[in-house]
A = this chain, B = another copy of it.
Amino acid sequence: MYTVHVALTDRSYPIYIGERLLARGELLMRHMPQKRAALITDTAVAPLYLDAVANALGSAGVSVTPVVIPCGEQHKDWHTLNAVFDALLANHCERKTTLIALGGGVIGDLTGFAAATYMRGVPFIQLPTTLLAQVDSAVGGKTAINHPRGKNMVGAFYQPLAVIADTTTLGTLPTREVGAGLAEVIKYGLIRDPAFFAWLEQNIDALTARDAGALAYAIQRSCENKAEVVAADEHEESGQRALLNLGHTFGHAIEAGLGYGTWLHGEAVAAGIVIAARVSHHMGLISAADIARIAALLERARLPVTAPDLGVERYLQLMGIDKKVEGGRIHFILLRGIGSAFLTADVPQRALTAALAASVKRD
């Protein structure tokens, strides 16, 4: 087991990475103020891991309320959140009852927001079971639900007491989900860690083949990168944390434009990263060879590198209500090179339009 520390003074917490951690009730118990928990998962994860975690907790003397919600990004909404509140209240869950998120990014985001707001905040532990959640969404305290007008528009910064990433769960992950997670892994290399990007180029086939050692290192290095960024800029105020959104402004537009759940989040981010790279190239910041190198790695991770053809106007419209808007101007994360991202509102409309036009797939 490897431990990454997220340093946030009184809200610091460990990320445990290792095999067969879900069955270790004492690891969970260590971070629970009371022997009561609500275990929140979805219809895809419940048949695989709910019993194992519930039994591990039961053996440790913890009374567990399981809450199973429908699977998919399209259920990350108020309706499902309210179903969770109903279950918590019906089962008399209290201010010191720990909410445990067992699942992928949707479960983690929604459970985290439930924990942030149920009775004005209750203890919260993340048990991410997808690669994307283990390397990104379970770490850093961003929680949210979607709104019909935009993804993650309603949420809170709310840190977990611990993140337990059981790498064994990646064995049951659908192939598309592995790719979606790798999009965020590649992102860390692109924005701030060129050595990691080079390592990924060497090891991408081992990762898609789910080599345990390669995956464990990729998760560790991703969590270390994310922990450093979050410790420096927890609430996305200084601009550092915003860099983690490379490809996300375009990605969110893809997800919203197609309807949430059509493309996986990581797939949309992959296509979005290529658009961001093209914008950077149009502005003379990176070379065509850099774009090719980025697209090649994403393709080897079995990720889409062209975006759906929603029309340039629709893309611009979808991005107009993105959270990263300030003073009416859209902020973009661009690349100065592989391993070096920056935030700017100074993007010519022409570069944007050209990059979008060059990036869409026409059927």
Contact = CB atoms under 8 A, between A and B. Distances in A.
A85 B147 contact: yes
Given A94-B327, A95-B323, A116-B156, A89 B149 contact: yes
Q: How many copies does the complex hold?
A: 2
Interface in A63-116: 78, 82, 85-86, 89-90, 92, 94-96, 113, 116
A363 interface: no
Contact of A150 (B89, B236, B323, B327): B89
Contacts of A323: 94-95, 119-120
A156 B153 contact: no
B325 A157 contact: no
A321 B92 CA distance: 6
Given A326-B94, A328-B92, A119 B320 contact: no
**Interface range for A:** 35 or more
Given A78-B82, A150-B89, A327 B34 contact: yes
Contacts of A342: none
A154 B326 contact: no
A117 interface: yes
A144 interface: yes
A96 B117 CA distance: 22
Contacts of A155: 117, 119-120
Nearest to A36: B327
Interface in A145-186: 147, 149-150, 152-157
A95 B150 CA distance: 14
Given A78-B78, A142-B120, A156-B117, A92 B325 contact: yes
Contacts of A327: 34, 94, 96
Interface string A132-143: 000000000011
A267 B321 CA distance: 43
A196 interface: no
Contact of A235 (B34, B89, B121): B121
A117 to B, nearest CB: 5
Contacts of A94: 323, 325-328
A118 interface: yes
Contacts of A119: 153, 155, 323
Contacts of A95: 323, 325-326
B120 A144 contact: yes
Given A82-B78, A92-B328, A326-B96, A121 B156 contact: yes
Contacts of A92: 320-321, 325, 328
Contact of A156 (B85, B96, B120, B152): B120
A143 B121 CA distance: 11
Interface of A: 34, 78, 82, 85-86, 89-90, 92, 94-96, 113, 116-121, 142-144, 147, 149-150, 152-157, 235-236, 320-321, 323, 325-328
In the A-B complex, the 9 residue pairs with the smallest Cβ-Cβ separation, listed nearest first, are A89-B149, A120-B155, A119-B323, A117-B154, A94-B325, A120-B157, A120-B156, A117-B156, A94-B326
14 contacts: A34-B327, A85-B154, A86-B149, A89-B150, A89-B321, A90-B149, A94-B323, A94-B327, A96-B327, A113-B117, A116-B156, A118-B154, A120-B155, A120-B323
Given A96-B327, A116-B156, 11 more contacts: A34-B327, A78-B82, A89-B147, A92-B325, A94-B325, A94-B326, A117-B117, A119-B153, A120-B143, A120-B155, A120-B157
